[in-house]
Amino acid sequence: MTLSPECPSVSRRVRIALVDDHPLVREGLNARIGAQPDLQVCCEADDPETALALIRECKPDLVIVDVALRHGSGLELIKTLSATGNGPRILVVSAYDEELFAERMLRAGAHGYVNKQELHGSVLEAIRTVLAGEIYLSAGLAQRLASQAVSGRRSTQGLEGLSDRELQIFELIGRGAGTRAIAAQLHLSVHTIESHREHIRAKLKLRSGTELLRRAVLWTLESRG
């Protein structure tokens, strides 16, 4: 969407890319980051395709990305950025439940997760932690992941039991996308999407497509506030 002009007076600042489909969120992050003498926003986007093009041009040190994006998924964007092996650091800032998404994002290649409800107090701490080469997690999530590591078990119940692709499709269903629209967006066949829908319905113990739609819509509304 936008590429910030280079300014010689701030050329030594750490360069940060914002990828979020909410203009007000980008505006707020831009203001907080820009107020720091050593940080600057170099580009902004609201969808993965535009983000990848701008990131190639901007070459940021850090990418801040949301879970859900316009015409795409933050999870898939993270996987693409991480596939090169020498890409930027990645921080997820999202309203979605960290217990459901944070571990997935970390497995995909992210280096931290911040819930938007805690954005005001923790985003700069998270940015500096990730830029320092460390992983940023809330205290609660860190404890949960530590407990899982000790027990050697992860929950396979409910939404946590869905695969990354199934959760992505579930979220798109909740945003009102039909089977054909989801297939086109994910570059998959309609048959494949229908199969995923059936697997999701079975895992969530839902009796019909109508129940699946209702559950997905309610979850998406609750997750995104």
Three-state SS for the chain is CEECCCCHHHCCCEEEEEECCCHHHHHHHHHHHHCCCCEEEEEEECCHHHHHHHHHHHCCCEEEECCEECCEEHHHHHHHHHHCCCCCEEEEEECCCHHHHHHHHHHHCCCEEEEHHHHHHHHHHHHHHHHCCCCECCHHHHHHHHHHHHHCCCCCCHHHHCCHHHHHHHHHHHCCCCHHHHHHHHCCCHHHHHHHHHHHHHHCCCCCHHHHHHHHHHHHHHHHC
Task: Give the pLDDT score at 7.
Answer: 44
Task: Give the pLDDT score at 160.
Answer: 84
Task: Report helix angle 209-224 to 190-203, nearest 10.
Answer: 80
Which own/partner pairs from 193-200 qualify as long-range (CB within 8 Å, at least 24 positions apart)? 193/169, 196/165, 196/166, 196/169, 197/169, 197/173, 199/166, 200/162, 200/166, 200/169, 200/170
Provide the whole-model pTM.
0.77
Q: Which residues contact 41 (CB under 8 A, 6 or more apart)?
A: 4, 16, 17, 18, 29, 30, 33, 34
Task: Give the pLDDT score at 138.
Answer: 79
Query: Tens-digit pLDDT profile for the chain (225 aa)?
Result: 666 554 444 457 899 999 999 999 999 999 999 999 999 999 999 999 999 999 999 999 999 999 989 888 899 999 999 987 788 999 999 888 787 888 889 989 999 999 887 666 689 999 999 999 999 987 777 777 766 666 555 555 688 889 989 998 998 998 888 999 999 988 899 999 999 999 999 999 999 999 999 998 888 777 765
Order of strands, edge to edge, in the sheet holding 89-94?
Answer: 2-3, 39-45, 14-19, 62-65, 89-94, 113-115
Task: Give the pLDDT score at 220.
Answer: 79
Domains with residue ranges and CATH for the chain: 2-148 (3.40.50.2300), 158-224 (1.10.10.10)
Tell me how far CA of residue 205 lies from CA of 143, 165, 195, in angstroms.
Answer: 29, 18, 15
Tokens of 191: 């048959």
